[in-house]
Structure 1
Amino acid sequence: MGTSSTRVHAFADDPLGDHDAVGLAAELRRGTVSVAEVRAAVAERLARVDPTLRAVQLERIAEPATGSPDGPFAGVPTFIKDNTDVRGWPTGNGSASYVPRPAPAHAAVTQQILSTGLDAVGKSRMPEFGFNASTEFAAAEPTVNPWNPRHSCGASSGGAAALVAAGVVPIAHANDGGGSIRIPAAACGLVGLKPGRGRTAPSANGSRMPINLVADGVVSRTVRDTAVFLAAADRQRRAPHLPPLGLVEGPADRRLRVGLVLTSPTGAVVDADTRAVVEDTARTLEKLGHEVTPASIDLDPRFVDDFVDYWGLLAATVAAGGRFAFGRTFRASALDPFTRGLVDRYKRAAPRTPAILRRLRRVRHDYARLFTRHDVLLSPVLAHVPPELGRLSPTVPFDELLQRLLGYVAFTPLNNIAGAPGISLPGGLSSTGLPIGVHLSAAHGDERTLLELAYALEAERPWPRIQDLSHAAAHTAPN
């Protein structure tokens, strides 16, 4: 196990090296390494670090779901999140409320991932049904943050982020219904882009929602991996109502109007380290020639309550329809305390459902108006650094946990309700050595601008790498 201070990683001088997915695919095409050697290296790395990380739900390295040999990532290993069907593999949704059955077919999202050439070698862990922002469980050990195993790795794509950050695989499937790509990317020092609604293949879970919050993508260690994935996904399935994306290969020359947002829609207080990293990023953007001005997000004052009630509606749907969706082994009483708390809250809000949905559907238009004045919004991803394990455990009393979550997940849900793209980028490290993410948001259909700006920031301020750093690292939060 590679460690630096308390850090946990598996980077080694083996066929995986410290390649990103694009680099590893190039090595495979050249024949410098073989698929068999790469899979053996994944197995060895996993054996070294997963006893600590606990990031894997299902391991299938010897029997992977293989991707297209013509895809740009042909032969590169990945993990699929445990809420997405892979033919013949169980889909557990992070829940102990039912016994998962083998899926009869690949989900559309799985087909899209495999079309890029990625080989799925297992499934990553997630909290129950993706409702929590930390990959913690009522009756199982948590998935931990590779940067400091005493801290949360975020969620709900927490297992995916831990595996990529620790070097087990270079890229992993993730999805996002309220921040679930961007939150763990921020917590683990990764790139995590939530595509806009419809950009990637439709999620079966998201398609059944009254307002589809879910978008699928990846977490990666480099911007180019995310850009290549999205370009390949866009070729496999064009979104007719969105502009073509194409392959984004670097920064653009145009200068942008960047709105700096430091006040969250939830009213959460942004901690000093996070504020310093975001402000430092704003100065970097100004140095690159962009115009940065203060901005605010003006929403209906009921937005936060409406979002939480909608969250509760989704939990209530699981509780009421679980036997139909997951089979006769499903028991609503075995849902974790946080899920049950969401259900109880929704029961009180249920008569207001039509008004809640009407207001939330209007958010798309409120969001679009922001981009008449700005090309991009810059904000924190999270209001504070990744918390210690236990603070966001589903066993914390519901009202207390909900307030803690609203004080943490303060910026990401807006993009899900609006259906717009957002990206988390590594901004630096806290004074205690934990990753801090910065968030960029763009107009509907404008993932290209986010990727171009991400390339520029990556080149100007190369982000900390877990395998390189001692406890005192470059790019810590400015004082």
Structure 2
Amino acid sequence: MAGFGEYDKYDALGLGELVTKGEVSAEELLEEGIARTEKVNSRINAVIRPMYELARARAKESFEGPFAGVPFLLKDLIASFAGVEMTNGSRFYRGFVPREDSEYVKRFKQAGLNIFGKTNTPEFGITPSTEPDYTGASRNPWDPLRSPGGSSGGAAAAVAAGIVPMASASDGGGSIRIPAACCGLFGIKPTRGRVPSGPDQADGWFNFIAEHVVSRTVQDSAVMLDCLQGDYPGQVLRIAPPDKSYASAIARKPKKLKIAYSTDPALGDSLHSDCREGVLQTVKLLEELGHKCEEVRLPLNKEDFIYAYTVLVCAEMSATLMEGEKILGRKGTSSDFEPRTWALMKLGRSFHGGDVAAAFRYMNMFSRQWMTYFQPYDCLLTSTLGTPPIEVGGLRPTPSELVQLKALSHLPIGFIAKQKDFVLKAGHRVYQYCSQTMPANVTGQPSMSVPLHWNAQNLPIGMMFTGRFGEEDVLLNLASQLEEAKPWADKRPGIYAGV
């Protein structure tokens, strides 16, 4: 069956409307998505598990929902699709097949989406670059020598390359916003508890993780959030529902906002000049649109935050190993994981309960102070990243670091792990790169990356807006205004599956 030649003229919502009206079939859209995958995937390694035949069978059925029959890709992490292998980017989970859909996946299906493949992710989503040993590195369609970010790097590369208009993503330290920034896309991390996870897995990373999508248009993300948000029986974390739909939030007349902005390096040592220039140009645009912008210093103790965040993530990696051993019924060894992952798991085991509790208490106090400081503002503007998209391999352990990691895997490292200098040095490159994103995961605030700037090398430089807890509608309304003032959806990278 032929595809659909006008695929690029529509976003996901537009394609769904065509299917609902009978102007194009779900089968035609699916074949277009498959053809585009086959055309460019060998160059970007975004889709690592095709589900073509499952999707072809589904395309013959009827669809309901705003995204009726629209081809869609699912990140191969956290989100369980019954009957399809889920490896979480790790050889340890090779052959693991969930028995039921997660609530997140059920809602994608209820929205009408036709899932036809899974996207690449780093091992357990722990790095902001998608380069797992098991399935290989994903590459950025804007420059294949550079990373599309992580951990939703495969999803962002697929959307940027025109395979799909929207794909699933999750964010525990920036993993929606980082790849959106790297690939010139829109990505919003919802408020904690807005999009339900489970019920097959616990809420990991101390509830830092939020699930949603990356998309070309603000409209697709807004309508998708309407489809995903809301409680379900058994959900532990519940928050108040929005007063009105997010679709209506992007349609209403923009309000004049009070916006804080900062060019502080946050968790990094410095902010790249391209990122700084992007912030300053965005401030100028915001003021032209009638918003009031006020420069601030970020209320952040870099070293204390990094240490506490690292303690918590390492503890979670230790729990991930224990959970995996229980699910799979076998012990994990160093040969099952990448050296960095195994070292983090070992580090997690070295901290005692008091260390973890102290780190969690610190983050609670940080959240109170951070949100109190920014309460007078409608949102905070920063660069999404500390630098432009990094080169593939830019965050991988160096040969000397690899030797150290392997040594750590065989040593009693409790004393070393608790030395703050050791922890800060070990994560320095990662925190320099994704220097701005993590605070919103800790506080639970909604935060979005908006593709408003490209540098002289034609690389996307995302701008990040973080709103008050529960106020995704304010962010989406602003994003819609910015999208109209400075459109980005028609920008095309060098690797593109369309005509």
TM-score (norm 1): 0.90
User: Is the alpha carbon distance of 1:222 and 1:344 closer, same or farther for their aligned partners in structure 2, counting shifts above 3 Å?
Assistant: same
Q: What is the aligned partner in structure 1 of residue 316 from structure 2?
A: 314
Letter in structure 2 aligned against 1:360: M
Deviates more, 1:251-260 or 1:41-50: 251-260
Within-5 A mapping of 1:289-438:
289-300=290-301, 302-328=304-330, 330-350=332-352, 351-393=354-396, 397=401, 402-438=427-463
Q: Distance in 2 between matches of 1:416 and 1:439?
A: 13
The correspondence for 1:59, drawn from 46, 50, 58, is 50
Letter in structure 1 aligned against 2:385: L
User: Is the alpha carbon distance of 1:334 and 1:449 closer, same or farther for their aligned partners in structure 2, counting shifts above 3 Å?
Assistant: same
Q: Distance in 2 between matches of 1:377 and 1:172?
A: 26
Does structure 2 retain, via aligned residues, the 8 Å contact 1:336–1:394?
Answer: no
Q: What is the aligned partner in structure 2 of residue 164 from structure 1?
A: 159
Quote the offset at 1:210 in angstroms.
6.6
Q: What is the aligned partner in structure 1 of residue 10 from structure 2?
A: 19
Quote the offset at 1:340 in angstroms.
2.0
Quote the offset at 1:43 in angstroms.
1.2
Within-5 A mapping of 1:454-465:
454-463=479-488, 465=490
Paired residue secondary structure (2:54): coil
User: Is the alpha carbon distance of 1:135 and 1:469 closer, same or farther for their aligned partners in structure 2, counting shifts above 3 Å?
Assistant: closer
Map Cα deviations across residues 163-214 of structure 1 (whole Å, 9 max, x no partner): 1110101111111111010000000000000001111112468744372111
Quote the offset at 1:149 in angstroms.
0.5
Does the alignment pair 1:148 with 2:139? no
Q: Distance in 1 between matches of 2:341 and 2:440?
A: 23
User: Is the alpha carbon distance of 1:448 and 1:260 closer, same or farther for their aligned partners in structure 2, counting shifts above 3 Å?
Assistant: same
Q: What is the aligned partner in structure 1 of residue 272 from structure 2?
A: 271
Does structure 2 retain, via aligned residues, the 8 Å contact 1:425–1:439?
Answer: yes
Does structure 2 retain, via aligned residues, the 8 Å contact 1:423–1:441?
Answer: yes
Does the alignment pair 1:101 with 2:103? no
Deviates more, 1:322-331 or 1:14-23: 322-331
Q: Distance in 1 between matches of 2:131 and 2:426?
A: 13
Q: What is the aligned partner in structure 2 of residue 90 from structure 1?
A: 85
Q: Distance in 2 between matches of 1:468 and 1:190?
A: 11
Paired residue secondary structure (1:150): coil
Within-5 A mapping of 1:158-197:
158-197=153-192
User: Is the alpha carbon distance of 1:44 and 1:267 closer, same or farther for their aligned partners in structure 2, counting shifts above 3 Å?
Assistant: closer
Consecutive unaligned residues of structure 2, counting only runs of 5 or more, are: 406-422
Q: Distance in 1 between matches of 2:200 and 2:253?
A: 36
CA RMSD, aligned part only?
A: 2.4
Q: Distance in 2 between matches of 1:109 and 1:415?
A: 21
Deviates more, 1:135-144 or 1:198-207: 198-207
Q: Distance in 1 between matches of 2:276 and 2:459?
A: 14
Q: Distance in 2 between matches of 1:423 and 1:357?
A: 24
Q: Distance in 2 between matches of 1:180 and 1:269?
A: 21
Q: Distance in 2 between matches of 1:204 and 1:163?
A: 28
Does structure 2 retain, via aligned residues, the 8 Å contact 1:306–1:360?
Answer: yes
Consecutive unaligned residues of structure 1, counting only runs of 5 or more, are: 1-11, 471-479
Q: Distance in 1 between matches of 2:494 and 2:321?
A: 45
TM-score (norm 2): 0.86
Quote the offset at 1:304 in angstroms.
1.4
Q: Distance in 1 between matches of 2:5 and 2:364?
A: 50
Q: Distance in 2 between matches of 1:46 and 1:149?
A: 16
Q: Distance in 1 between matches of 2:328 and 2:123?
A: 14
Q: Distance in 2 between matches of 1:244 and 1:85?
A: 30
Q: Distance in 1 between matches of 2:231 and 2:71?
A: 19
Q: Distance in 1 between matches of 2:205 and 2:136?
A: 33
Q: What is the aligned partner in structure 2 of residue 259 from structure 1?
A: 260
Paired residue secondary structure (1:310): helix
Q: What is the aligned partner in structure 1 of residue 22 from structure 2?
A: 31
The correspondence for 2:75, drawn from 78, 81, 86, is 81
User: Is the alpha carbon distance of 1:469 and 1:463 closer, same or farther for their aligned partners in structure 2, counting shifts above 3 Å?
Assistant: farther
